[in-house]
Amino acid sequence: MKTKSLLPLLIILLLALTLVACGGGSEEADPAPASGDVTGNAAAGEALYMQPVIGKNSAPGCNTCHSLEAGVTLVGPSHASMGTRAASAVAGQSAEEFLHESIVDPNAVITDGFTAGVMYPAFGTDLSAQEIADLVAFLMTQK
Ligand code: HEC
């Protein structure tokens, strides 16, 4: 075979390899570990919380929908005193568990006066377990 006729084949091979490398979808097969498996860093969580866009799909950031000031409702509830409120939000759930669930599965519990399906639903797969734990740790500091 002449070198020239190999070129298209080579290109197809490279494309196939790129697809395997990028489209493997290992994220789905490897769900984020539960909140207990990583230790959150509140300072890192605060920085994440303030980002205008967040996560691998550039979703709207937390503070585009949530304020940290009491009584200020943007799209979602204010996160003032969120750490305190989280502790008694759901019977049998710790504050951290409630916050973790609220981020990865926002429709599991709907805050009174708000509507299901409004909070961006894919943070659980867009963010790493560490990032989610960091956000939980930051919200826990809001007393
Ligand atoms: C598109 C708007 C939107 C974005 C972006 C958003 N949220 Fe929300 N969030 C909501 C709405 C609306 C609710 C209330 C309905 C519900 O419980 O799902 C809510 C509820 C919550 C609650 C429960 C609050 C309570 O008072 O019980 C937490 C915790 C929370 N969000 C955390 C976050 C974090 C952390 C981020 C960023 C990673 C984020 N949210 C991004 C709209 C948003």
- Mean pLDDT rounded to a whole number for the chain: 86
Dist CA 40 CA 80 (whole Å) = 19
Quote the tokens at residue 100. Answer: 């973790």
Q: Convert the pLDDT of each residue in 30-75 to its tens digit.
A: 444 455 579 999 999 999 999 999 999 999 999 999 999 999 999 9
Dist CA 103 CA 141 (whole Å) = 16
11 CA to middle of ligand 1, Å? Answer: 45
**Is pLDDT at 17 greater than 90 in this prediction?**
no
Confidence of residue 15 (pLDDT cuts 50, 70, 90): low
86 CA to middle of ligand 1, Å? Answer: 13
29 CA to middle of ligand 1, Å? Answer: 26
Confidence of residue 18 (pLDDT cuts 50, 70, 90): low
Contact in structure between 68 and 141 (CB atoms under 8 Å): no
Atom of ligand 1 nearest to the CA of 59: 5
Atom of ligand 1 nearest to the CA of 64: 5
Mutating to test ligand 1, I would choose from 58, 65, 81 the residue with most ligand atoms within 8 A of its C-beta, which is 65
Q: What is the mean pLDDT of residues 75-81?
A: 98
Q: Which residues line ligand 1 (CB under 6 A)?
A: 54, 60, 62, 64-66, 75-77, 85, 89, 99, 102-103, 106-107, 110-111, 114, 118-120, 123, 135, 139
Q: Convert the pLDDT of each residue in 98-119 to its tens digit.
A: 999 999 999 999 999 999 999 9
Tell me, what's the pLDDT at 37? 75
Q: Convert the pLDDT of each residue in 88-98 to its tens digit.
A: 999 999 999 99
- Determine what percent of the chain is predicted with pLDDT higher than 70: 76
